[in-house]
Amino acid sequence: MSIQNITVALIGNPNTGKTSVFNQLTGLKQQVGNYPGITVEKKLGFCKLTNTIKANILDLPGTYSLNASSIDENVVIELLLNKNDKLFPDIAVVITDVENLKRNLLLFTQIKDLEIPTILVINMADRMKSKGISLNISHLEEQLKTKIVLVSTRKGYGIDELKNQIVDYKSLSTEPCLNASSIDEEYFNKLRKAFPNQLLYKLWLVITQDVNFLNLERNEIRNSFTKSHSDLKRLQQKETIKRYQFINDTLKIGQTIDSTNATDLRSKLDKVLTHKIFGYAIFFGILLLIFQSIFDWSSVPMDFIDATFADLANYAKTHLSEGEFTNLICEGIIPGIGGIVIFIPQIAFLFMFISVLEESGYMSRVVFLMDKIMRRYGLSGKSVVPLISGTACAIPAIMSARNIENWKERLITILVTPFITCSARLPVYAILIALIIPNKRLFGVLSLQGATLMILYLLGFGMAIFSAYILNKILKVKTKSYFIIEMPNYKLPLFKNVAINVIEKTKSFVFGAGKIILAISIILWYLGSHSSNASFKNAEKIVAEKATAEGKVLEKSELENITSTYKLENSYIGKIGKTIEPAIRPLGYDWKIGIAVVTSFAAREVFVGTLATIYSVGNNNDDSTIKSKMQADVRADGTKIFNFATGVSLLLFYAFAMQCASTLAITKKETNTWKWPIIQLVFMSGFAYITALIAYQILK
């Protein structure tokens, strides 16, 4: 029995619950990646429909129509216009929201015109009763020339019917719903004569859209059928109005709304959440809640993870036979991995909050509230989304700036987002704060350590706003102020959606960062425990002779400690560290911190892993955590290395410096030039160096 594979594309407006349907169909059988060459997220899932038919389900980016205005939307058109694409769908499933059928059907009629077998899913059907909506399904199916499936992902019905309908896709009509060519008969007749083998609507899209489509053909089509920009737009307007007329006529009989009994939660919530006082107070309260969870609530699992990894390294050391390989595991790999695993709780909390804010529809209200304020700084209300999700990671945050229509506002958002305290800074902050700020509570409630973290967040945010303000004054880009945001209805976030989102994001983050950290800790371990020079090889002898010469009598363990420190200083890494030390000494750092700062330019979170590796190599006291090892470290003159001045200087350096290769890469991709990432790197790191220098010189 052969197995048939079919490809199903889920298409729909944003906020129609497309991803919920995707999650219901595929469960956890999902692959999240990128489309080749661009950073648009590609979600592919798998679903076994019958014993002989398997479906590849593609969750396409949400789009309002086939007239694309962003690269996310381009993906949809490019796929649907290219029959040779290996993901070209056998069936298109258009997802609509029962409360917003009129607007959602616009996209449906466009997809139908491409003559792809299409199923119409009317989602959130459980709301029909409370909204007083009734549908005449057979009339709608007849008019729209499709099969309709009523689905509620919340109540969990309709999915099996959808699967059956997908299996039966050959029976679907591929006839278009309306004849769009009537908007300009003469023009379209000419087009039809010139390209008799092509779909008319497809030709029209090729002419109007700026998408990759077999270049030669496209030039040919465009050359002979050019129209001025405003003529094209006039035709597009005519097309849109025509589609709406068709939809209105269809819904006149197909849909009745009796709003007398409808509950109107939306307007009640809107009144409170966009209120001039309550609105801002609630938003601020939510931000506070997020910070509270990051620092206070996640400290319990974090301490547990920290101790577990220290135990694990110790256990491995006592149970594995001695040798190079054991050293690599205990001193390189385990502390390195521990350095990243420890902040899973914080990342998970952050992604959970962001996911809930977006799913519930609240994020749009924040955009609405903040737009006027943000514009003063050259940003858009929509910059709030990147700035908030920047607290998790700057990379998806910079990508989410795509929703900003105005190029100048978008560019400024991209440039300042890396100032926001991302989760990679958290482990650095956490360990430094624990080292230099006493674990006390102010007035019995406010934790001093928590307050310090809050200040660092505010500092990052303040710096982002301040540089936006400066950039707004400097940058001379003339663009129209163009801003549209959908205000979706409020929804209680679905647990499954949030959970899958948190798991996916955390997983890709940990594995992505994990790979770099693992590689760096192995390299560091090697560099830290090897050297070509003679003083490294004869360390035991030299230390012993020195002690005898100075007339000291040392205990065995003390001698061992001094020897390993001496060895570390003379290893490859010690040499490298000593070379850069003059540049960082004015900031209050010794060569060990220097190495950590330098390796952090690959990714900030490497800081903790690097110090963990260096301190494990140079220390025989195994049962302690990284923190206590750092705390115990002293300078030649006996003063603590991690004192208050050095700690503050490091905190400031990490708050401002651009130390993330992936962020630079994404800025390059989104702005199409190296100019902006280079400016980010130089400006941010230079500023970080200066503030850290000033802070240390004042505090020391």
Partner 1 sequence: MKTTVDLLHIGDIARITNVDLDKIPLKLLEMGCFPDNTLEIVQIAPLGDPIYLNVNNGSHLAIRKEMAREIEVEIDEK
List residues binding partner 1 (CB under 8 A): 64-65, 67, 69, 99-103, 106, 230, 233-234, 236-237, 240-241, 244, 267, 270-271, 274-276, 279-280, 364, 367-369, 371-373, 381, 405, 480-489
CB under 8 Å to 365, separation ≥6 — which residues? 270, 273, 274, 279, 487
For residue 383, the surrounding DSSP H or E stretch is: none
Amino acid residing at 74: N
* Minimal distance, residue 125 CB to partner 1, in Å: 16
CA 251 to CA 29: how far, in whole Å? Answer: 37
For the chain, the distance separating the N- and C-terminal CA atoms, rounded to the nearest angstrom, is: 77
Check: CB of residue 279 under 8 Å from CB of residue 272: yes
Q: How far is the CB of 510 from partner 1 (least distance, A)?
A: 37
CB nearer partner 1, residue 72 or residue 405: 405
Residue 74 or 447: the one with the smaller Cβ distance to partner 1 is 74
Give backbone dihedrals phi and psi of 170, rounded to 5 degrees, phi first: -65, -20
Q: Are strands 118-123 and 53-59 parallel, antiparallel or unpaired?
A: unpaired
Q: How far is the CB of 379 from partner 1 (least distance, A)?
A: 13
Q: Calculate the alpha carbon distances from 109 to 30, 61, 139, 141 in Å.
A: 29, 18, 16, 13
Nearest residue (CB) to partner 1, 107 versus 290: 107
- Shortest spacing between CB 353 and partner 1, in angstroms: 23
Distance of closest approach, residue 268 Cβ to partner 1, in angstroms: 12
Query: What sign results for the dihedral spanned by CA atoms 441, 444, 450, 451?
Result: negative
Q: Measured from the CB of residue 129, what is the shortest distance to partner 1 in angstroms?
A: 17
Q: Report how far residue 171's alpha carbon sits from residue 141's, in angstroms, rounded to the nearest whole number.
A: 13
Q: How far is the CB of 672 from partner 1 (least distance, A)?
A: 22
Q: Which is nearer to partner 1, 358 or 605 (CB)?
A: 358
Q: DSSP characters for 293-356?
A: IIIIITHHHHHHHHHHHHHHHHHHHHHSPSSHHHHIIIIIIHHHHHHHHTTHHHHHHHHHHHHH
Spatial separation of the C-alpha atoms in residues 644 and 695, rounded to whole Å: 10
Nearer to partner 1, 46 or 64 (CB): 64
The residue count for the chain: 700
Q: Would you say 279 or 528 has its CB closer to partner 1?
A: 279
Question: Residue 281: how many CA atoms within 13 Å on its side-chain side?
Answer: 5
For residues 656 and 419, the answer to whether their CB atoms sit within 8 Å is yes
Distances in whole angstroms, Cα of residue 345 to Cα of each of 52, 91, 567: 42, 40, 36
Nearest approach in angstroms of CB 133 to partner 1 is 11
CB of 237 to partner 1, least distance (A): 6
- C-beta of 319 vs 372, nearer to partner 1: 372
Nearest CA to 11 out of 85, 81, 68, 65 is that of 65
Q: Which is nearer to partner 1, 386 or 574 (CB)?
A: 386
What is the C-alpha to C-alpha distance for residues 394 and 665, in angstroms, rounded to an integer?
11
Name the E strands within 297-435.
none
Cα-Cα-Cα-Cα torsion 386, 390, 395, 396, nearest 10 degrees, comes to -50
Strands, E, within 114-166: which ranges? 118-123, 133-135, 147-150
In the complex, least distance from residue 110 CB atom to partner 1, rounded to whole angstroms: 10
- Token digits for 408? 């100048």
Could you tell me the two tokens for 638?
Answer: 């006996």
Q: Output 368 or 469, the one with its CB closest to partner 1.
A: 368
Tell the smallest beta-carbon distance from residue 192 to partner 1 (Å): 24
Question: Nearer Cβ to partner 1, position 236 or 631?
Answer: 236
Nearer to partner 1, 187 or 644 (CB): 187
The closest of 389, 351, 356 to 490, measured between CA atoms, is 356
Residue found by looking up tokens 């087009």 in the block: 191
DSSP string, 519-571: HHHHHHHHHHH--SSHHHHTHHHHHHHHHHHTT----HHHHHHHHHHHHHHHS
Is the CB of 66 or the CB of 502 nearer to partner 1? Answer: 66
Nearer residue to partner 1 within complex by CB, 275 or 700:
275
The Cα–Cα gap between 630 and 642 comes to 7
Contact assessment for residue 387 and residue 401, using Cβ atoms and an 8 Å cutoff: no
| 481/697 with CB nearer partner 1 | 481
From 520, 342, 515, select the one nearest 427 (Cα to Cα): 342
**Least distance in angstroms from the C-beta of 123 to partner 1:** 15
Alpha-carbon distance 336 to 514, whole Å? 8
Q: How far apart are CA 24 and CA 289, in angstroms?
A: 30
CA-atom Rg of the chain in angstroms: 30
Shortest CB 233 distance to partner 1, Å: 6
CB of residue 94 vs partner 1: minimum separation in angstroms? 15
Inter-helix orientation angle 299-319/334-341, to 10°: 170
Block residue for tokens 């679903």: 47
Determine the 3-state secondary structure of 228 from DSSP. coil
- For partner 1, the closer CB: 106 or 502: 106
Nearer CB in complex with partner 1: 216/277: 277
